[in-house]
Amino acid sequence: QVQLVESGGGLVQAGGSLRLSCAASGRTFSTYAMGWFRQGPGKEREFVAAIPWRGARTDYADFVKGRFTISRDNAKNTVYLQMNDLKPEDTAVYSCAAALKLTPDLKYQYDYWGRGTQVTVSS
């Protein structure tokens, strides 16, 4: 089993910044990559960003490119999401997830999920 705990959410004004953290524990050696997702009020959950534990590849949703940066600290089993120039539409519960493998179409398959951290951006 893999346990994921998010932190760093809060209330910020539009244009502000937050850094989210996701600490992984348990059988982290079996995971391949980590991703961030979000679900806003009345919206479906959507992909935000992903990074593997090894290698330099990163993936971003179009709506966060240039504003958000995903990174990792392998020694701490932690991934981060630096969020800059936040907008009210970024308001959501942000969750991290661990992927065990790639799907046949080269996308990560996420098997473990954290409980999420609330990010609220005021106008």
> Does the pLDDT of residue 107 top 90, yes or no?
no
Mean pLDDT for the stretch of residues 87-111: 93
Average pLDDT of every residue of the chain: 94
Give the strand pairing for 68-73 and 78-83.
antiparallel
Q: Do residues 94 and 36 touch, judged by C-beta distance below 8 A?
A: yes
Q: Do residues 18 and 122 touch, judged by C-beta distance below 8 A?
A: no
Phi first, then psi: what are they for 28, rounded to 5°? -70, -20
What Å distances lie between residue 59 and 48, 49, 69, 87, 113, CA to CA?
A: 8, 5, 10, 20, 18
How many CA within 13 A on the CB side of residue 101? Answer: 3
pLDDT in tens, 6-44: 999 999 999 999 999 999 999 887 888 999 999 999 999
